Structure 1
Amino acid sequence: MTGHLFDAFFLIFTGSAIVASLALFTRQPLLVAYIAVGVALGPYGLKIVPDINIVSEISHIGIVFLLFLLGLDMQPSALHRVFKEISSTAIISSLLFASLGYTTGLAFTFTHTEALVLGMTMMFSSTIIGIKLLPTTVLHHKQTGELMVGLLLFQDFLAIICLLILARGAPGEFNVNELGLAFIALPALGIAAFSFVRYVLLALIARFDRFHEYIFLIAIGWCLGLAELAQMIHLSAEIGAFIAGISLATSPISQFIALNLKPLRDFFLILFFFALGAQLNIALLPELALPIIAVSVFVLTTKPITFYALLCRKSGRKGLAWDIGFRLGQISEFSLLLAIVASSNDLIGERVKIIIQSAAIVTFIVSSYIVIFCFPNPIAISEKLRRD
């Protein structure tokens, strides 16, 4: 088992390093390289890594750390101001995307539940692509950055609610009683987390903050510990990690923790995107080409237009509205997570899962190219658009 896992890691990271180098030379998004390596080496490609179950489970930790780091960035005072500004845009756009996604699912003869799940996945845009292709100066000091982060954080909150619903799903239906218990457990977990941080964790950090290794260890322990506790009370690891991050956000050391955990998060996210590509059953793609193209075109067209209309009406700045609209014009990595959770609970079939995965990959790639060629970003081909 150890040998197989070592060989898999060697192939994944060495292969990704080679393809990523080629991607950078040609100014391609790195996540495209990770997905491509997964498709090529996985069980539906060359079968060089035939069993990806272990890798898939390990890669799930990357999403847990991603949610933990998102929580760490959520300062309550800043969130209140930003959410007040973008709340109407976020609510209207989410309802519209969910409705159109649901309608699209029914048009392709999905079941009612499958159409609902598709509608859920359409609501979210990629935090990874949105933030990574946004120049640092814009992210921290301009209105574009504030609005984008606000919209993405609102969607992340919404994704947590959707995860909570799908995690309580039973085959063919939603278990209302279990869902009600989960909504009771959620605030209880939040209160317990904030209390523990205030009276125990912050005291430990203040006493031993000069030991950086200890801070790193306690941050990982807190993240994974609360994730495990969330699973024990029938929530999910993602929800637990998210609450763990928010509970630490007001700590003066939260940004130090976030900075030190980013390399660890990136390690697991490489595995996540590799597993995404490896799990894609390319043999079914010709059969599912029409719904995949339809969903992809729907996302790539309606999202930029919707965000443009809503933001232009609010700010009156057409350039800013188009900029944000195209940067958010894709499906999210959380959409993939929702599809995985829904599939594991038998709420959607394999074909619907593949449609969502494929549409996510297509929209990741196309929207990344649009941003790279048309808007300021760190890896633009044009010197005029390149911004660090």
Structure 2
Amino acid sequence: MDSTSVTFSFFLIFSGAAVLASVALYTRQPLIIAYIVLGAALGPSGMNMVNDVKLLSDIAHVGIIFLLFLLGLDMQPQALWSTLRKSTLIALISSALFLGTGYGVAWLFGYTSFESLIIGAAMMFSSTIIGIKLLPTTVLHHRHIGELMIGLLLLQDLLAILVLMLLLGAAGGSEDSTSAMMLAVVSLPLLAGGALAMVRWVIIPLITRFDRFHEYIFLLAIGWCLGLAEAASALGLSAEIGAFIAGITIATSPISQYIAVNLKPLRDFFLILFFFSVGARFEIELLGDVLLAAVVLAVMALALKPVVYRFLLKGVSEKRTLAWDLGFRLGQMSEFSLLIAYMAAGSALISQQASSLIQAATIITFVLSSYIVVLNYPTPIAISDRLRRD
């Protein structure tokens, strides 16, 4: 068997995921943990049975794109605008606090000021995948906590894009960074306006005319999602932002719920690959050098984020129970943290050890945060029947 073929890699990943998922369910563990453990076991630092991790990571990124597209399908533009206005101050204050905390922890462990700054930046963000994946669909789409979570995560995505642009500028020159940021600022309203016009004059008429052909609707939805994601990337934004705009622009269409239901299995397929690639890309041999610092950084994130969100949300008149619920659901680091680690190390802005610290802390928060939420709050994958919601 050719161990370098994509087919063989998929066989190992999904067969192994099925086995470990069965073990996880029997032992009452979150399924996300099984996928990360499988990646570490089969990846280059483990048995090296799946070695083209970069390719799988690129493929897995499609899962995040579909996740944001599905979010957009269930958001009305008026509700989104109201939520973003309310979430902006919370997102900025919390990000500043997390940046300072991460910087302080890294500096105490002997990292340089610039490395500490990047480690602090990686701590600012919460995981869109875990936050949304573990929130019941009815809560996400029809309750205030779902609107607040989406607003905060979208604002964090915009901040993450800014951080990535600054890293690109530091690697290639400040002039490139400035022009990239100016392009992004101009591109966002242009992309949204162009998408609205396209939906009104092209997409909706096509859906109305051919809505009896389910295969066509499925293909049109995927094409629209990926097309706008690529357009956003070309304009200096992230593919995720483009996918969300693609979703929200057709959210008012009667066919939007049909599209959402039919794309969920495809999204889950790619998200399994994402969590596998997280485990596979981590260099286990460097774990001993960063373990203590990673544990401290992860514990600070898990302990501080719920408290910060609880007080900030209480300050804008949110209920105490909602504030704690949202705080624990956003208590981890983010897939953007991993991207920052990969990019900064690849551009030689930070050492491989600093990159491994970010990766290890992020994975630890993924694991522990999943346990906290699954065991204490309603989720679609809760072990307890009392907490299982979808």
Q: 1:58 to 1:129 in 2, by over 3 A?
A: closer
SS, match of residue 18 in structure 1: helix
Aligned residue in 2 for 1:154: 155
Does 172-181 or 9-18 show the bigger shift?
A: 172-181
Q: 1:138 to 1:5 in 2, by over 3 A?
A: closer
Does 253-262 or 29-38 show the bigger shift?
A: 253-262
Q: 1:339 to 1:255 in 2, by over 3 A?
A: farther
Letter in 1 for 2:72: G
Aligned with residue 251 of structure 1, among 253, 265, 276:
253
Q: Give the fraction of aligned pairs with identical amino acids, expressed as a percent.
A: 56
CA deviations over 1:83-125 (Å, ceiling 9, x no partner) = 3444433332122212322333444444555434333322222
SS, match of residue 48 in structure 1: coil
Does 314-323 or 348-357 show the bigger shift?
A: 314-323
SS, match of residue 175 in structure 1: helix
Is contact 1:164-1:182 (8 Å) kept? no
Letter in 1 for 2:372: I
**Partner Cα separation in structure 1 for residue 214 and residue 166 of structure 2:** 38
Is contact 2:75-2:141 (8 Å) kept? no
Return the TM-score normalized by structure 1.
0.88
* Residue 250 (structure 1) shift: 3.6
Aligned with residue 179 of structure 1, among 172, 178, 181:
181
**Partner Cα separation in structure 1 for residue 386 and residue 202 of structure 2:** 51
**Partner Cα separation in structure 1 for residue 388 and residue 251 of structure 2:** 32
> Are 1:91 and 2:83 matched, yes or no?
no
Aligned residue in 2 for 1:325: 327
Q: 1:193 to 1:381 in 2, by over 3 A?
A: closer
**Partner Cα separation in structure 2 for residue 80 and residue 154 of structure 1:** 12
Q: 1:217 to 1:167 in 2, by over 3 A?
A: farther
Aligned residue in 2 for 1:32: 33
Does 134-143 or 327-336 show the bigger shift?
A: 134-143
Aligned residue in 2 for 1:203: 205
Is contact 1:172-1:346 (8 Å) kept? no
> Are 1:307 and 2:309 matched, yes or no?
yes
Q: 1:262 to 1:169 in 2, by over 3 A?
A: farther
* Alignment of structure 1 residues 64-83 onto 2, 5 Å: 64-83=65-84
CA deviations over 1:214-269 (Å, ceiling 9, x no partner) = 11111111222233334444544344333333333343333322222221111111
**Partner Cα separation in structure 2 for residue 135 and residue 243 of structure 1:** 22
SS, match of residue 286 in structure 1: helix
Does 92-101 or 362-371 show the bigger shift?
A: 92-101
Return the TM-score normalized by structure 2.
0.87
**Partner Cα separation in structure 2 for residue 203 and residue 105 of structure 1:** 54
* Alignment of structure 1 residues 217-236 onto 2, 5 Å: 217-236=219-238
**Partner Cα separation in structure 1 for residue 311 and residue 69 of structure 2:** 32
**How much is the aligned-residue C-alpha RMSD, in angstroms?**
2.8
Work out the number of aligned pairs and report it: 388
Does 66-75 or 107-116 show the bigger shift?
A: 107-116
Is contact 1:160-1:239 (8 Å) kept? no
**Partner Cα separation in structure 1 for residue 137 and residue 309 of structure 2:** 22
CA deviations over 1:186-233 (Å, ceiling 9, x no partner) = 433333222222222222222112211111111111222233334444
Q: 1:65 to 1:387 in 2, by over 3 A?
A: closer
* Residue 48 (structure 1) shift: 1.8
Is contact 1:167-1:236 (8 Å) kept? no
**Partner Cα separation in structure 2 for residue 51 and residue 368 of structure 1:** 27
* Residue 387 (structure 1) shift: 4.6
**Partner Cα separation in structure 2 for residue 186 and residue 136 of structure 1:** 28
Show structure 1 runs of 5+ residues with no match: none
Letter in 2 for 1:200: V
